[in-house]
Chains A and B, each alone.
Chain A
């Protein structure tokens, strides 16, 4: 078995550590590039969501590199993500690829198939204790990749040299790929924190604009897809926080692992949205409200074009924007999204936030701040 899996920001770093320890040979997915997107767009149905197309492109590129088993998460619910695996399996079968598709569904929809898939994905015969140990390290690595990206977002507008910041982050990410023990990981964490602290700052957190990112789990995180909006905002001198995280996404699938932060987000969204609309619809609404409470200057909403849960969220966010006097920029991403138009809109949004900060009138609530 030569297994592969789709990209999701730095998920490949964590899984690249997990699988070799479980004795599963993997084909790391080739870097996500324009070619990946082109392959996916060509093969997938035209009206499928953008993440389906990109992950399909990932699979094809990995198969061409020799993968014969594909690991994919699935689900059932209002969001089309539940069908990604099935559709991708059919498309790859039609293309004549002889591959095994292992789909990990939510245990709610069949505990037996879940355990079966999980067994295949974790090597079958290995002792549970070893699986837990290996998973714990990979999990810690995944968490740290998110921590370091969060640091990069926050520091980009503050540091004197942005390239020095990038060098520290990229260097750490490369080192993480070879991590073998928790002790080694802790050493990397320590030295990275030291290197980040050593970066000279030219501004303070209090004086910069703050923007939060909400949206769909794939597009809001995967910067190779969303034109690296975070970097663009950082270069414009904006402090960025991203509410979307793969760690939280995984934890949220089981009721007893949900973080308090996530529960809080859902509670905040309740006055606007009581029922689950699929995907991250509720999270987008709740996180935007939390940003308003934190005193952020604006929110950027990133979602795949035609994403149903996020379209529901977009409608509700118009009201949230009015009620909390919080400007929101909505950016729909797909293969047709033009970079020039996106940059112009983000620049104009930052100008609006700047001018607004100068002439702040908090008393006037009741206006919609929606940008598209």
Chain B
């Protein structure tokens, strides 16, 4: 059986999808990145290996997400694609008649306009956190509500409190103000959901025709409160679809792109990667006032890849030489805390 692996390493979560030639998901997982993408990648690979069908063979690997280049090196990707394309491809595969995609992740949110199965237009918010999952998570901690229960609680409310959602700082002070006025948690949570939706629409959808069906995906789509807030925003007139695979759409898209790319021989490093020792380190190049931070991925003594060199003077061998000369000048980049519990698969 030919299989295709898609990996999406985001800022907050890491997603894996194993797919067959009919684009059906064979296995998938959704883990916390916890600031350590390499450990998350290894955990994901272990999970996929455990659920690997007998007689299967990985024909191609695709990576996406903000750590797509790193993941591409560690796992051995045949294709490395940006998140916008990956999410759009998955949405079109899942709902062929889709005309709009809302994707809200941990650190950014995207709006993709699709017509006749082709991406026509997109907008991506990378600057303001007020429209993203991190914002909700942060407020959930403040309200002492588990993020999984956030949506349920919002649905319990009979009315919403209007919270200024333009900016996380204002939202937080406004939320505290509303708490002091005596509103209940449910009302405030519902208000937060509406504020996030308003922010998403204001930031990304200005001047764009939002037509249904809308596919809503990304980690935040699991939150029923947000889904309901989107429905309310459109007065129930637009069809909003939340696919059951909403959390792993990016990884699925990467797998589909890898299949379309169809390499003759995959660069996949095999599941033995989990036994290998990768470490990201960095140093500051002081050869000019640009002070580039050169980040490199090392396996044992071999420099596998590097990023951040503006002038292009650093190559893996040049970095290797520098490590030998000046081992003290290297800093460890990933300081992810080991937290087994938070990294256990929550999506299947």
Contacts and interface: CB of A to CB of B under 8 A. Distances in A.
A and B: real partners? yes
Contacts of A327: 121
Contacts of A359: 116, 118
A356 B114 CA distance: 11
A201 interface: no
Contacts of B290: 33-35
Contacts of B120: 352, 367, 369
B11 to A, nearest CB: 10
B126 interface: yes
Contacts of B312: 163, 166
Nearest to B68: A344
Contacts of B85: 347-348, 351
A336 B127 contact: yes
Nearest to A343: B82
B51 interface: no
Given A352-B119, A356-B118, A367-B115, A345 B66 contact: no
A152 to B, nearest CB: 14
Contacts, number: 79
B123 to A, nearest CB: 5
A274 interface: no
Nearest to A321: B121
B309 to A, nearest CB: 13
A197 interface: no
B82 A347 contact: yes
Given A340-B66, A344-B82, A351-B85, A371 B118 contact: no
A30 interface: yes
Contacts of B116: 359, 361
B182 interface: no
User: Which of B122, B123, B209, B312 is the most central at the interface, judged by chain A CB atoms within 10 Å of its CB?
Assistant: B122
A351 B82 CA distance: 9
B146 interface: no
Interface string B115-156: 110111111101100000000000000000000000000000
A355 B119 contact: yes
Interface of A is mostly: helix
Nearest to A231: B312
Given A356-B118, A371-B121, A338 B289 contact: no
A361 to B, nearest CB: 8
Contact of A31 (B124, B126, B289): B289
A197 to B, nearest CB: 24
A163 B315 CA distance: 13
Contacts of B81: 347, 351
Nearest to A328: B121
Contact of B122 (A352, A355, A368): A352
B291 interface: yes
- Give the contact-size bracket for chain B: 20 to 34
Given A34-B289, A34-B290, A368-B121, A348 B127 contact: no
User: Which of A30, A347, A348 is the most central at the interface, judged by chain B CB atoms within 10 Å of its CB?
Assistant: A348
Nearest to A332: B127
Interface string A301-342: 000000000000000001000000001000000001010110
B127 A36 contact: no
Contacts of A340: 66, 126
A372 interface: yes
A236 B162 CA distance: 45
A238 to B, nearest CB: 15
A123 B18 CA distance: 72
A367 B209 CA distance: 9
A21 interface: no
Contacts of B124: 341, 344-345, 348, 372
B84 A344 contact: yes
A192 interface: no
Given A35-B289, A340-B66, A351-B85, A372 B119 contact: no
A370 interface: yes
Nearest to A337: B127
B208 A368 contact: yes
Nearest to A163: B312
Interface string B294-325: 00000000000000000010000000000000
Given A34-B291, A36-B289, A368-B208, A348 B84 contact: yes
A45 to B, nearest CB: 20
Contacts of A166: 312
B207 interface: yes
Contacts of B43: none
The list of the 4 closest CB pairs from A to B, nearest first, reads: A341-B126, A348-B84, A33-B289, A35-B289
Interface of B: 66, 81-85, 108, 115-116, 118-124, 126-127, 207-209, 288-291, 312
Given A166-B312, A351-B82, A370-B208, 6 more contacts: A318-B207, A341-B124, A345-B124, A347-B81, A348-B82, A359-B116
27 contacts: A30-B289, A31-B288, A33-B288, A33-B290, A35-B291, A163-B312, A166-B312, A327-B121, A336-B127, A338-B127, A341-B126, A343-B82, A344-B83, A344-B84, A347-B81, A347-B82, A348-B85, A348-B119, A348-B124, A351-B81, A351-B84, A355-B119, A359-B118, A367-B121, A368-B209, A369-B121, A371-B122
